[in-house]
Structure 1
Amino acid sequence: MNKFSETLTKDNSVLALIDHQTGLLVSCRDLDPHLMTENIKGLANLAKAVNLPTVVTASMPEGPNGPIMPEITNILGNEIIEREGEINAWKSLEFKRAIEATGRKKIIMAGIVTDVCLMFPAISAVAEGYDVYAVVDASGTWNSTVTQAAMHRMTQAGVKVATWSSVLAEMMDDWRSDHGTELGGILAQHTTYRWVYNSYLTAANQK
């Protein structure tokens, strides 16, 4: 089994969150802002729950792009790679070395905006042999047309387009796994899956 057919686990993956900065969020019109924020928080909580290595980067946060959104730092802490000018985060040696230092070839990647902050490093990483999962619902951009164009270009380059809930389910693998109940709770916290999860808890408590 090669890295492209191998499924995601907490032991073979790294999360990269790129440029989720307060000043850039105004550009995100393809998703409801509240929904997108919940998706980003869900992805961050997933990483924290399974102790997934995480690399967070920001582009010139002292300028109009602003700092990383507090919804991320409140969950994952304030360790952020601040880039001085590289639009494509993969061209930042510090960012790339942080990914390489994990020794993992699967990158779960999200970014603001989808067609730049996510698409460019996703394609660049694939070109160097990484297996990239582009989490498009924890990313955002101007409108749905731009999203579709970015998704097409990424898939043409070999990037796997994904959603945060599918990443969570793939990593959970089995409700009986060590993190099964906790991950189900994260999904319930950030989506309408909460009703299914509540039913599951009720049934489990009746056994």
Structure 2
Amino acid sequence: MPPAYKRLNKDDCVFLFVDHQTGLIQLVRDFEPNEFKTNVSGLVKVADYFRVPSILTSSFETGPNGPLVKELYDGLPNATVVPRPGQINAMDNEDFAQAVKKMGKKQIVISGVLTEICVAFPALSLIEEGYDVFVVTDASGTFAEHTREAAHKRMAQAGCQLLNWAAVAAELHRDWRNDVAGFGEIWRDHVPGYWCLMQSYESVSKNANQ
């Protein structure tokens, strides 16, 4: 039997943003700073657009890791926030683990900094607990490409699915006709060059209606 296609379902998933902190983000070298910010902001927009519940967590904010970046708070004002006093694996923190369980969702969309630690450790724990885990590769960052690749292999071998934020958006949306303008706006603002495509579409649509 071929493997089942586990497709993201906006009614059965929760977004986890793990340790996107001002100190840790300065360690990200596998993406350019503006590119990484665009990717994370795009994923935040996706979570907000589909009204998917989100959990934000940070580790040891009073130390060098720093606070969560304000873009998370600004973009997801209704998210559950779980500051961890020091646990490296977020799932080792009882408040965080209970917050995930309380959501009652089967699918976990996870991103964070650093990829091989703050993402991989909870992702592996969640797989062990029976969740379907989707790792957002371009909204997660780390020291270098070779450490990222090792982390991706480790998570994929355990059963995590790897995809970028745009793929998350598309799989949740299913059909462009559901909302061309709203969905297209996310792509326009966060996919390089897509602003031109949206302008072309808007121009054609306008002329067709005249």
Instruction: Name the TM-score, length of structure 1 as normaliser.
Output: 0.93
Aligned to 1:186: 186
Tell me, yes or no, if structure 1 residue 27 matches structure 2 residue 24.
no
Aligned to 1:113: 114
Q: Greater CA deviation, 188-197 or 84-93?
A: 188-197
1:3-37, Cα deviation, whole Å (9 max, x unpaired): x6232122111100000000111110010111010
How far apart are residue 74 of structure 1 and its match? 1.4
Q: Distance in 1 between matches of 2:5 and 2:114?
A: 28
How far apart are residue 154 of structure 1 and its match? 0.5
Q: Distance in 2 between matches of 1:58 and 1:170?
A: 28
Q: How does 1:6-155 map to 2 (within 5 A)?
A: 6-77=6-77, 79-155=80-156
Aligned to 1:197: 198
1:147-186, Cα deviation, whole Å (9 max, x unpaired): 1000010101101011001101111111111x44312211
Q: Distance in 2 between matches of 1:183 and 1:61?
A: 34
The 1:59/1:204 distance shift into structure 2, 3 A limit, reads: same
- How many residue pairs get aligned? The number is 203
How far apart are residue 79 of structure 1 and its match? 4.6
Structure 2 unaligned blocks of 5 or more: none
SS at match of 1:25: helix
Q: Greater CA deviation, 70-79 or 155-164?
A: 70-79
How far apart are residue 45 of structure 1 and its match? 0.9
Instruction: Determine if contact 1:172/1:180 at 8 Å carries over to the other structure.
Output: no
Give runs of ≥4 in structure 1 deviating > 6 Å: none
Larger Rg: 2
Instruction: Name the TM-score, length of structure 2 as normaliser.
Output: 0.92
Structure 1 unaligned blocks of 5 or more: none
Instruction: Determine if contact 2:20/2:58 at 8 Å carries over to the other structure.
Output: yes
Q: Greater CA deviation, 195-204 or 148-157?
A: 195-204
Q: Distance in 1 between matches of 2:199 and 2:130?
A: 41
Q: Which amino acid aligns with 2:184?
A: G
SS at match of 1:206: helix
1:94-147, Cα deviation, whole Å (9 max, x unpaired): 111111111111111001000100011111101111111100100100000001
SS at match of 1:195: helix
Q: Which amino acid aligns with 1:43?
A: L
What do you get for the CA RMSD once the two structures are aligned? 1.4
Instruction: Determine if contact 1:12/1:105 at 8 Å carries over to the other structure.
Output: yes
Instruction: Determine if contact 2:89/2:117 at 8 Å carries over to the other structure.
Output: yes
Instruction: Determine if contact 2:54/2:80 at 8 Å carries over to the other structure.
Output: no
SS at match of 1:196: helix
